[in-house]
Structure 1
Amino acid sequence: MTIRIPRRPLALAMSLALLAPGMAVAQTAKERELEARIAQLEAQVQALVGAQQQQQASLVDAKAQLDQVKVAQAAPAPDPAKAIQGTPILTAGSPNGRFSYGGFIKVDAMATDTNAGEIADGSAGRMFYLPSAIPVGGADESHVDIDTHAQFSRFWFAADGETQGHKTRAYLEFDLFGGGSNQLGNEAATNTHALTLRQAYVTWDKWLAGQTWSNFQDVAALPDAVDFVGPTEGTTFVRQAQLRYTSGAFSVALENPQTVLTGYRSTTRTNSDDGALPDISVRWTKKGDWGHVSVAGLARQLRHDTATTSASGNGFGVSASGKFNIGKNDDIRYMLTGGQGIGRYVGFALGADGALDATGSDIEGTGVLAGFVAWRHVFDPKLRGNLMFSRAQFDNDTDWTGFGVTESAQSIHANLIYSPFPKLDIGAELIWGNREVESGADGDLRRLHTSIKYSF
């Protein structure tokens, strides 16, 4: 019996058997090509991810550096460039302490003309604009006085540290406006001058103890003047011992209670430290890119005791001040102070705090309204200028004071300051000042004040 197998299925099976290896080989090549492309894409993705991570790391580093700069700018510590060394100089010093120093050399030259008498040689009024020194009622000598000095050169030392989580600072500041220290300390020979203590205080966290600017004074509002102060009669200006606490925008201080009085119907003054209560000052300050504004209040006791009499009175005052930026090149600075019995806080005691009665047993507080406004313009990075107006008005009871005390004072200042390179200022300021007493007598001052100042 013969069995037959169909030829066509057999041929098909044999064909498939012969083609199968080729199909497998072709499929493997495509897979390899596909795998290679996938690997290439994965490498590109990894490269992109690595670049992104590197960019993010760079941004994090840049932000950290920027934060460090901001912290350094906001920190109250002195300029690190002025640090003598990064570790304590003495082994007894704070292990985290930092010592620093700074100051400036300032040379002043002035030509002064007054129309009602001469300002006394060597007096403070010949060194800077002091409205109380403007002569009144005298003869016009028709000549110009020339004065030159370097007495307002200044230097300071500071030690900043952190102990057991408490930030501390010790600060000492001096200038040379202390007068001659010996017989040769005059303009005829050596021009020797003694040191003057300006500030000496310590701070820890929010507390301050020592001598510094009164909490009633806004130092940040002072104009950019060639003169020592500039608009003196309109400015609160006192440095004294105090205990101060600051929290955010608010500060409160207990300050030295000195009282300045005039005698009954006399221009003779008495400085009394008989006060039993400290002067109390409070301040609030708001800051921004636009500048700052500040409001302060003062309450005090006036007191004068002798062996046979005891006189007392009260004083109070309010002051508003600040700086307002107008674009990049201009700003307005201002101060307005009013009150009664606060004369020594205004214009270097241009007016007294009060007057004694005929028996010396009572004090009549003197009213005062004072202020200034100043415009500052920056022409270019090397040249700037300032224009200022200042005035003080006193409400004297002439039955107590008589007619020889200051009724008002005012001044106008215009200056240009050129800085050929950083830290060096060359300035010139024109000053016109006027003082009038209760009798109606007055006197004018005209001055050209020039200076060269190098800060270090």
Structure 2
Amino acid sequence: MASPAAALRRAALACAITAALYAPATSAQTPKESEQDARIQQLESELLALKAIVQAQQAQLAGAWVERASDATPATAVAVTPGSPAGASAAAPTASAPAGKPPIQATSIVNSDSRFSFGGFIKLDALSTWTSDGPIPDGTPGRMFYFPTATPVNQGPGESYTDFHAQFSRLWFGVDRVTDAGDTFKAYVEMDFFGGGNSNVGNEKFSNGYPPTLRHAYVQWNKWLAGQTWSNAVDLGSLPESVDFVGIVDGTLFARQAQIRYTTGNWSFSLENPQTWYQAGSPAHVQSGQNNVPDVTARWQTKGDWGHFSVAGIARQLRTQTDRTTGAALSLAGSFELGDRDTLQYTLSGGPGLGRYIGFGLAPDAYIDTDGALEAQDLVAGFAGWRHDWNDRLRSTLAYSAAHIDTDSAAVGPLATKKTQSWRYNLIYSPFPRLDVGAELSWGERTLSNGESGELRRLHTTVKYTF
């Protein structure tokens, strides 16, 4: 049933339409037209009266909501925003408040001081892959993008595959707000469709359904950030453009995780989710889950017309059920503008305990040595990429990436990954703004502690529309 306020609105609208239909077409006044003018004036008076009644109804409803909220338990209450259509409401979590006072937290259906935004992209990937030393299992990451530890070594004859998927398509939502006092707030959540459904290989049979996977979820308040996003140590501006999901994985500092971050000027500091992955007598990475001290990072960045430069440090506790040690690493990253059409991008990272921050967990954070003690794993990794813009629509990138792990074969065995490297070259064409069509040729190699190695070659194409 329509509310009284809604009924009054419809009556007012009918009056206005009637007045418009019978308005005089000329300035000449006949007795009949004079009568119509008087009637119009009467309708205008009634319309103003109806408007006053509607406003009074809205004020009454808003006051009633405050009274209900004051008696509500910490559950949900119905919020009506003054100035919104009568009857508009939304379920909103509220905190209990003293009688006659509004709740501390209330969510309305309209937030006049907030700006809502959304975006993302649709991305089709089509890959043809060749391996020299065995298969890559279907439905695993190595079949969908370059995953260094997935390159098979001495696992049988070479194989070839063709895979199509759209799992890296992405959606994000954001809310920005600036208060009267000048405080800035931002909330952001982002998801794609890679990760949640990869174990269900069978769904390629008919539906190819993949659940959403959380990438980012955080809130910012002035200089503070809390939630999940890129590690403070990651320099996104140094990453070369690739048709592949990341491409130069071997040498890339890559981690998204929950954290608390503070930024001031060129500096940023964070406390981030701790986790230790280690090797114990074999190449397999074991998750300990025993950390009780967060990872600590600090980062400094400067930029100008020439490009940008950053240096980041990471300090970590590495811990298992029986032992503990510390890890520390340093990362240098940046870009150089080499004229109007050329850009150089790079990263160099290294140190004991860098482990899971490099190349999708390419190396362990630590290992159990031959004496039974926990040792931080030493490694060094990096990449360099050169981008050239052929014209306003066509561009290409040539990149090399590598990682070297100081593996103790006596402690972890001869099959542990000791080194990976890869080359790639792409050509990306944008026939229209926000539409990219690209192709990329790549080669990768993984070498074990015993010196054996396997190769991967790939032709990767994509169509991507960003909105």
- Calculate the TM-score normalised by the size of structure 1: 0.77
Pair 1:324-2:331 in alignment: no
- Please state how far the C-alpha of 1:93 moved relative to its aligned partner: 6.3
Task: Give the whole-Å Cα distance in 2 for the aligned partners of 1:181 and 1:428.
Answer: 24
Query: 1:340 Cα shift?
Result: 0.5
- The residue number in structure 2 matching 1:443 is 454
Number of the residue aligned with 2:464 = 453
| Contact 2:139/2:201 (<8 A) preserved | no
Give the direction of change, closer, same or farther, for the CA distance of 1:144–1:183 in structure 2 (3 Å limit): closer
2:325 corresponds, among 308, 313, 321, to 313
State the alpha-carbon separation in 1 of the partners of residues 371 and 217 from structure 2: 39
1:69 corresponding residue in structure 2: none
- Paired residue for 1:241? 258
Secondary structure of the corresponding residue to residue 203 of structure 2: coil
Name which one, 1 or 2, has greater alpha-carbon Rg: 1
Aligned pair partner of 2:241 in 224, 245, 251? 224
Deviation per CA, 1:391-447: give whole Å up to 9, x if none: 100012222212111100000000000000100000000010000010111100000
Structure 1 300/181 Cα, relative in aligned 2: closer, same or farther at 3 Å?
A: closer
The 1:447/1:400 distance shift into structure 2, 3 A limit, reads same
Deviation at 1:92, TM superposition (A): 6.2
2:135 maps to what in 1?
118
Is the CA contact (8 Å cut-off) linking 1:366 and 1:397 kept in structure 2?
no
Q: Which residue identity lines up with residue 377 of structure 2 in the other structure?
A: T
1:179 and 1:440 map into 2 onto residues whose CA distance is 35
Q: After TM superposition, give the deviation of residue 227 of structure 1 in Å.
A: 0.3
d(CA) in 1 for partners of 2:111, 2:263:
24
Given that 2:380 and 2:405 are in contact with CA atoms closer than 8 Å, whether structure 1 keeps it comes out as: yes
Q: Distance in 1 between matches of 2:387 and 2:437?
A: 16
User: Which structure 2 residue ranges, 5 or more long, are not aligned?
Assistant: 1-83, 85-89, 91-106
User: Does residue 147 of structure 1 match 2:158?
Assistant: no
Residue 144 of structure 1: SS of its match in structure 2? strand
Q: Tell me the distance in 2 between the aligned counterparts of 1:169 and 1:304.
A: 37
The offset of 1:137, in angstroms, is 1.2
Match of 1:278 in 2: 294
Q: Deviations over 1:11-65 (max 9, x none)?
A: xxxxxxxxxxxxxxxxxxxxxxxxxxxxxxxxxxxxxxxxxxxxxxxxxxxxxxx
Q: Distance in 1 between matches of 2:437 and 2:127?
A: 14
Indicate if the aligned counterparts of 1:94 and 1:161 stay in contact, CA closer than 8 A. Answer: no
1:173 maps to 190
Q: Structure 1: how far apart are the matches of 2:250 and 2:154? A: 20
Over the matched positions of the two proteins, sequence identity in percent amounts to 49
Corresponding position of 2:410: 399
TM-score (norm 2): 0.75
Determine the C-alpha separation between the residues in 1 that align with 2:459 and 2:175.
39
| Residue number among 253, 256, 259 corresponding to 2:276 in the alignment | 259
2:423 pairs with 1:409: no
- Cα deviation for residue 139 of structure 1 reads 2.1
Query: Does 2:223 correspond to 1:206?
Result: yes
Q: Deviations over 1:71-101 (max 9, x none)?
A: xxxxxxxxxxxxxxxx9x9626654110000
- Give the unaligned 5+ runs of structure 1: 1-86
Number of aligned residues: 363
Query: For residues 217-261 of structure 1, what are the alpha-carbon distances to aligned partners after superposition, in whole Å with 9 as ceiling and x for unaligned?
Result: 101111110000011001000000000000010000001111111
The CA deviation string for residues 162-217 of structure 1, in whole angstroms up to 9 with x for no partner, is 13421000000000003438968621110110110000000000000000000111
**Tell me, what secondary structure is at the counterpart of 2:299?**
strand
- Local SS of the residue matching 1:137: coil
